[in-house]
Amino acid sequence: GDSVTQMEGPVTLSEEAFLTINCTYTATGYPSLFWYVQYPGEGLQLLLKATKADDKGSNKGFEATYRKETTSFHLEKGSVQVSDSAVYFCALSDPTGGGNKLTFGTGTQLKVEL
């Protein structure tokens, strides 16, 4: 079945450091890929998405490129801020199974310090 694997956290960075959170996936069809962010005490917010191979999703300085050859969708940001501290989830949506079901990774906690 479908699965998503992302690097374990917590990831602790200093403000203005470069961020990479790795994500790889397994899917039977041609999935869409997503990054969601969860701030403490809140639900998930869509950060960015890519719907086909070589697409780049971007939002708020975050980027991720859909790499079919390596089945990856790594999240990057050039300069993190304290306000980026949150849990980040990589997810896929495989329309083969019908509906709009998301399969999530286990999440990576990011802590940004001054």
Partner 1 sequence: ETGVTQSPTHLIKTRGQQVTLRCSSQSGHNTVSWYQQALGQGPQFIFQYYREEENGRGNFPPRFSGLQFPNYSSELNVNALELDDSALYLCASSHGAENSPLHFGNGTRLTVT
Choose one: 12-20, 58-66, 73-81, 95-103; the region binding partner 1 (CB under 8 A).
95-103
From CA 23, how far away is CA 40, in angstroms rounded?
Answer: 22
Check binding of 29 to partner 1 (CB under 8 A). Answer: no
Q: x/- string (CB under 8 A) for partner 1, residues 31-50? A: -x---x----xxxxxx--x-
Count other Cβ atoms within 10 Å, centred on residue 4: 22
What the block records as the tokens of 79 is: 């300069």
What is the amino acid identity at position 38? Q
For the CA atoms of the chain, what is the radius of gyration? 14
From CA 114, how far away is CA 94, in angstroms rounded?
Answer: 39
DSSP-based three-state secondary structure for 104 = strand
Q: x/- string (CB under 8 A) for partner 1, residues 61-90? A: ----------------------------x-
The site that binds partner 1 (CB under 8 A) totals a number of residues, namely 26
**Interacting residues with partner 1 (CB under 8 A):** 4, 32, 36, 41-46, 49, 51, 89, 91, 93, 95, 97-107
